[in-house]
Amino acid sequence: MPVKTSPPTFNATRVAIAALTLVAAGCASSSSSATKPSLSIEHIMEDGFKGKESLSARIAKGQGTAEDFKKIAFLTEELALNQPPKGDLASWTEKTRALKAAADDLVAGKAGAVDAYKSAVNCKACHSVHKPD
Ligand code: HEC
């Protein structure tokens, strides 16, 4: 159930290519996405997303600082580098790339970036497909 709220730069072809790149990854390639994550998903969730006062929650409330934007861009990049513990990689790649793109727009100070971020950071949409319990 993809949420229809992708930022304008989001492009299905690029997502498909990114997904293929990740599938082919494990070894270094010319793509920047073929890197191993340095943080686990659990760590990223605890550090940036968990709870009402999390980094992500502050940003969604419009209270994020430039430092916060940089950190969320880093965390979402790390998230995208991880493999989902559950669900298929194409779906994971689509969701995490959209989130990373939204975080990059925050860093770039794009108009509407906070709203785009709020749409992209859909906890339930991701957890229902990718979070094991
Ligand atoms: C793009 C996907 C994605 C999004 C968006 C996402 N999560 Fe998660 N989250 C995961 C996955 C996958 C796990 C399971 C990690 C595992 O068990 O290895 C997880 C686990 C968690 C955990 C448990 C961490 C732990 O200590 O085991 C919490 C808490 C959490 N997420 C909170 C949130 C909140 C709050 C949001 C929204 C603001 C959110 N997540 C958004 C993918 C996501």
Each residue's pLDDT tens digit, 72-126 = 999 999 999 999 999 999 999 999 999 999 999 999 999 999 999 999 999 999 9
The residue whose CA has the least distance to atom 13 of ligand 1 is 131
CA of 49 to the centre of ligand 1 (A): 7
CB contact at 8 A, 87 and 132: no
Mutate to test the pocket of ligand 1, among 59, 89, 127 (most ligand atoms within 8 A of CB): 127
The residue whose CA has the least distance to atom 32 of ligand 1 is 50
Say how many C-beta atoms besides its own lie within 10 A of residue 48's C-beta. Answer: 23
Burial of 101: CB neighbours in 10 Å, binned 0-12, 13-18, 19+: buried
CA-CA distance, 114 to 106, in Å (whole number)? 7
Q: pLDDT digit string (tens) for 111-129? A: 999 999 999 999 999 999 9
CA of 5 to the centre of ligand 1 (A): 20
CA-CA distance, 45 to 9, in Å (whole number)? 25
Max Cα-Cα span within the chain = 39
Give the angle 53-58-62 at the CA atoms, nearest 5°: 155
Q: pLDDT digit string (tens) for 4-43? A: 555 555 555 555 555 544 444 444 434 454 689 999 999 9
Pocket of ligand 1 (CB under 6 A): 41-42, 45-46, 49-50, 56, 84-85, 95-96, 99, 121-123, 126-127, 130-132
